[in-house]
């Protein structure tokens, strides 16, 4: 019998301001972290210690700010380096602007360059990473900085997280091609009255999201919404309820767990 994987929502809010609802971070089983927003900071030490791999969708602060604290908290006691996977532009941003000795120590050189507590692993679009029977594939999406979406495939199912994105096509091509995505986590950051801001910031609002979801041609994919900005959360939720598709859109919340 195949062992299922779980995806735990540590954080999925578009910003801070709602207690218990941190920014983007998802934990796959005990050992793979997708993004490291403020939601990560809710995890206790012994769970932080079990994380071996961190995959970052892009370099924005609400997706990376927990990583410096995590590697500082767990780092020197680790048995093997924490592996941080991201595209080259995202890794370059981390090296230049975060782990640069001014904002935070460079943990790829602590305690020494030959024996670091953290290592970078560059990934390219559509590359497939293998973690036992789990496969993770990444795909480019449209955002104000280079950004990726993430697919998780297990022997029993599939999950997709769009990351931060505006209108995009390849993500949906892959959903349709694989035919085994049980859950799609996708954002709706702004209400429709701020579509101009969604276009500027390369995010989605409900009307844009509805058009994007028309691109899904395979049945059986539950759609869950993340990244609602707290200021307009109630309005965005109301607008999402107007979705004309066959199944309602569901709102993610920290603490939820999905079996894949």
What are 180-224's pLDDT values in tens digits?
999 999 999 999 999 999 999 999 999 999 999 999 999 999 999
The reply to whether 82 falls in a domain is yes
Average pLDDT, rounded, for the chain = 96
Provide the domain limits for residue 37. Answer: 6-259
Using the predicted structure, report yes or no on whether residue 33 has a pLDDT greater than 80.
yes
The reply to whether 70 falls in a domain is yes
- Cβ neighbors of 176 (< 8 A, separation 6 or more) are 215, 216, 217, 218
The reply to whether 228 falls in a domain is yes
User: What is the pTM for the complete model shown?
Assistant: 0.97
The reply to whether 34 falls in a domain is yes
Using alpha carbons only, how large is the chain's radius of gyration in Å?
A: 18
The reply to whether 1 falls in a domain is no
Q: From the CB of residue 66, how many other CB atoms can be counted at a distance below 10 Å?
A: 28
* Number of domains within the chain: 1
Domain with 105 in it: what CATH number? Answer: 3.60.15.10
pLDDT of amino acid 223: 98
Using the predicted structure, report yes or no on whether residue 1 has a pLDDT greater than 60.
no
Average pLDDT over residues 70-95: 95
Encode pLDDT of 145-170 as tens digits: 999 999 999 999 999 999 999 999 99
The reply to whether 169 falls in a domain is yes
Residue 234, token pair as written in the block: 């109630």
């Amino acid at each position: 019998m195949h062992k299922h994987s779980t995806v735990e929502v540590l954080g999925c809010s578009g910003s801070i301001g709602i207690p218990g609802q941190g920014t983007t971070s998802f934990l796959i089983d005990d050992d793979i972290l997708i993004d490291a927003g403020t939601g990560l900071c809710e995890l206790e030490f012994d769970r932080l210690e079990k994380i071996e791999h961190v995959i970052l969708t892009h370099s924005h602060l609400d997706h990376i700010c927990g990583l410096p604290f995590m590697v500082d908290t767990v780092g020197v006691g680790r048995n093997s380096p924490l592996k941080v996977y991201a595209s080259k532009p995202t890794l370059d941003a981390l090296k230049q602007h975060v782990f640069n000795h001014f904002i935070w120590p460079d943990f790829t050189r602590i305690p020494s360059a030959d024996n670091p507590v953290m290592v970078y692993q560059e990934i390219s679009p559509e590359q497939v990473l293998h973690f036992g029977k789990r496969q993770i594939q990444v795909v480019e999406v449209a955002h104000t900085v280079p950004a990726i979406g993430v697919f998780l495939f297990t022997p029993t199912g599939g999950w997709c997280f769009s990351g931060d994105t505006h209108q995009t096509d390849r993500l949906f091509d892959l959903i349709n091609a694989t035919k085994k995505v049980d859950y799609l986590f996708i954002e709706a950051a702004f209400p429709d009255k701020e579509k101009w801001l969604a276009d500027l910031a390369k995010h989605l609002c409900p009307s844009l999201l509805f058009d994007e979801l028309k691109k899904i041609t395979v049945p059986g994919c539950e759609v869950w919404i993340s990244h609602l900005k707290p200021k307009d959360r109630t309005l965005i939720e109301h607008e999402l309820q107007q979705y004309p598709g066959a199944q309602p859109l569901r709102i993610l919340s920290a603490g939820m767990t999905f079996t894949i």
